[in-house]
Chains A and B, each alone.
Chain A
Amino acid sequence: MTKKIVFVIAFFLVFGVTAPSHGRVYIDIDSPTIQKFPLAIADFKNLGKNPDKDKLGTWFPDALGKALQVTGFFTIIQRNAFLEDPNQAGITTDSIRFSDWTGIGAESLIKGGFQVNGKELVAEFRLFDVIQGKLISGKKYTGKVSDRKDMVLKFASEVLLQLTGEKGVFDTRIAFAGKKGQISEIYAINFDGSELTRITNFRSLTLLPRWSPDSREITFTSYRDGNPDLFIMDMSSGRARKISGFSGLNLAAPWSPDGTKILMTLSKDGHQEIYVMDFREGKARRLTHNYSINISPTWSPDGKRIAFVSDRAGSPQIYVMDADGDNQRRLTYQGNYNTSPSWSPKGKRIAFEGMVNGSFQILSIDEDGGNLAQLTTEGGRNESPSWSPDGRYIAFASIKNGRNRLCVMNANGSNVRILHEGMGGYANTSWSSRSNLY
């Protein structure tokens, strides 16, 4: 009896200690409603003696507002609605009249200041709970004026951590196959749509980029040598080498969460089967034994199960199996064309591409097959879904009225945002891990 009590007390102690210290949940990410959180960002004060040549007083709130807007969780209140007299108020709690801010509907307020000394920059950011009238978090960053965007993204991550419980994905990149004429290459782009870079230069058909869990390497399939072969590239050196060149298809598929294995689809025996290759062993082991098409495998976040596509029932559908190939069972029963599964890093949902009324849409389903939801509704084709590492966003390729786009939306289908457009085609999105830059 005593042992049990001790155990129970210990259990609560552990639980109590790890509970979030601020207690309040500001933004409920999992809420199905699309209500955005109203946030005001005041112009930043010049706290130093030197004149504000770079107009940082307005640059900081604009850049911060843009970064937070992109997350899809906030309504940034326009500065022409502000009631506060900027000459009267300061940036500390006691110098702010919070009724000026609740009066315009804000629930949170960000204030800040800066000091510039030649190329050196010191910036202060403060996040306030306007309703309770208190400071939630304050940060001070020191660096160069040229580092100012990094400072903004660092604090934006802090705002997300405080208001949503997680830091966000400003330090992630989305890889995809971009088509120009007859050639496709692998590209990557930031979460906010900046810094598009081309990763491969094989001048052929190059497809299916898959990040390693630490985002240091990337696997992909290319027709560079006249056959769809599987390559791996080191991101820092840019050097690529072939790791599977069997006759037929060698299709790149996701890495295991612990980074020791990759999945792939090979058709060297005359039909498409799913294999797993352990980098430590260097050998490919076959998981499916089925004359139908078996393709597009993806891991569960705990690495214990694999979702994949098979047309063994007569049409392409999503199936799930154990990581060793056992227990293969069908997941999707609605519609006659369901492909491209992607398993949420939070575990419970699988996004995929399905044909609905003749067009292709992104759908999601529970990992046990329940609660089917349609996430996209517009456009002719929405394809290749890929989850962000925090499970809050889905990247996908879209064609609407003949225009090709790379898009991101919130996991519930809201806040569709165009990341890039103008290429001849976008396909095979793959979201990197966080690099802990912010």
Chain B
Amino acid sequence: MKRNLVVFGFIVVILGLGLILTVGCAKKVVKETAEEKTATVQKEAAAAAQPAETEEQRLARENAMKEAALREEQERERALAAQKEKEAAAAAMAEAFADLRFDFDKFDLKPEARETLKKAAAYMTANKDVTVVIEGNCDERGTVEYNLALGEKRALGAMKFLVDLGVDKGRIKTISYGKERPLDPGHTEDAWAKNRRDHFVVTEK
């Protein structure tokens, strides 16, 4: 009988301990959850303080974002197209005013030179604020003076061709550099061919 009491008491103590522990833990957990819950409650409270967004407003906001993105893309495409146009225009101008090549000791215009000059004339007719300086040049062989004259004849020949195609003479200037300003400083046939040239300096106001 007494022994049973002791055992019973023991069990009660253990149970009691367990209960305390459980309650303690439960209390802790409850404590944390409670903190979180407080935070959430606070947030919701803050949100609830602003006017609540309606479905319409949400849709409108999304649409605006879509349109902004669309506009951005269109801008990009426009810029790209403009860039391409600029490059094309530059290429067209380069083609219209490419260096004219000449044979040794000659100032007559070769067929390719005439084609280039036709493009130049067309360009200058379409763009009235373009003026040009034609620089006549020679390769390094022969005298300084004779080459100054030859370079001048090359420049004057090109000018006459443009004037004959309707370009106003006042928009064209000529100057000869003879053999003094070579494009290629080399001493080969290839370098000489490059240097026998009319070079255009184009000004677009």
User: Among residues 87 to 117 in chain B, which have CB atoms less than 8 Å away from a CB atom of chain A?
Assistant: 105
Q: A270-B156, A340-B145, A428-B144 given as contacts; is B177 within 8 A of A205 (CB)? A: yes
Q: Is the CB of B141 within 8 A of A293?
A: no
Enumerate chain A residues within 8 angstroms of B140, measured Cβ to Cβ: 381
Q: Which of B56-64, B74-82, B146-154 contacts A (4 or more CB under 8 A)?
A: B146-154
Q: Is A115 an interface residue (CB 8 A)?
A: no
- Please count how many residues in chain A sit with their CB below 8 Å of the partner chain's CB atoms: 37
Enumerate chain B residues within 8 angstroms of A228, measured Cβ to Cβ: 148, 175-176
Chain A 361-393, CB-CB to B under 8 Å as 1, else 0, gives 000000000000000000011011000000000
User: Among residues 289 to 306 in chain A, which have CB atoms less than 8 Å away from a CB atom of chain B?
Assistant: 293, 295-296
Identify which of A270, A272, A340, A384 gathers the most chain B CB atoms within 10 Å of its CB: A272
Q: Is B35 an interface residue (CB 8 A)?
A: no
Q: Is B181 an interface residue (CB 8 A)?
A: yes
Enumerate chain B residues within 8 angstroms of A296, measured Cβ to Cβ: 143, 145-146
Q: Is the CB of B156 within 8 A of A337?
A: no
Q: Is A162 an interface residue (CB 8 A)?
A: no
Q: Is the CB of A208 within 8 A of B153?
A: no
Q: A182-B181, A249-B176 given as contacts; is B149 within 8 A of A207 (CB)? A: no
Contact of B145 among A208, A248, A337, A381 (CB under 8 A): A208
User: Among residues 134 to 166 in chain B, which have CB atoms less than 8 Å away from a CB atom of chain A?
Assistant: 140-146, 148-150, 152-153, 156
How far, in angstroms, from A384 to B142 measured CA to CA in the complex?
9
Enumerate chain B residues within 8 angstroms of A182, measured Cβ to Cβ: 181
Enumerate chain A residues within 8 angstroms of B153, measured Cβ to Cβ: 271, 293
Q: Chain B binding site: helix, strand, loop or mixed by DSSP?
A: mixed
Q: Is B205 an interface residue (CB 8 A)?
A: no
Q: Is A184 an interface residue (CB 8 A)?
A: yes
Contact of B143 among A249, A270, A383 (CB under 8 A): A383
How far, in angstroms, from A316 to B152 measured CA to CA in the complex?
15
Q: Is B85 an interface residue (CB 8 A)?
A: no
Instruction: Report the minimal beta-carbon distance from B4 to chain A, rounded to whole angstroms.
Output: 122
Q: Is the CB of A316 within 8 A of B141?
A: no
Q: Nearest CB to that of A179 among chain B residues?
A: B180
Q: Chain A binding site: helix, strand, loop or mixed by DSSP?
A: strand
Q: Is A177 an interface residue (CB 8 A)?
A: yes
Q: Is A360 an interface residue (CB 8 A)?
A: yes
Q: Is the CB of B148 within 8 A of A249?
A: yes
Q: Is the CB of A272 within 8 A of B152?
A: yes
Q: Is B2 an interface residue (CB 8 A)?
A: no
Q: Is the CB of A248 within 8 A of B152?
A: yes
Q: Is the CB of B142 within 8 A of A339?
A: yes
Q: Is the CB of A272 within 8 A of B141?
A: no
How far, in angstroms, from A265 to B178 measured CA to CA in the complex?
14
Q: Is the CB of B144 within 8 A of A249?
A: no
Q: Is B187 an interface residue (CB 8 A)?
A: yes
Q: Is A402 an interface residue (CB 8 A)?
A: yes
Q: Is the CB of B105 within 8 A of A316?
A: yes
Q: Nearest CB to that of B173 among chain A residues?
A: A247
Chain B 170-204, CB-CB to A under 8 Å as 1, else 0, gives 00000111001100000100000000000000000
- Apart from A251-B148, A295-B145, A384-B143, what are 4 other A-B pairs with CB-CB below 8 Å? A228-B176, A272-B149, A309-B143, A428-B144
A-B contact pairs, 21 of them (CB 8 A): A177-B144, A184-B180, A205-B181, A249-B148, A249-B152, A251-B145, A267-B152, A271-B153, A272-B152, A295-B145, A296-B143, A309-B145, A309-B146, A339-B142, A339-B143, A339-B146, A353-B143, A355-B142, A360-B142, A381-B141, A427-B144
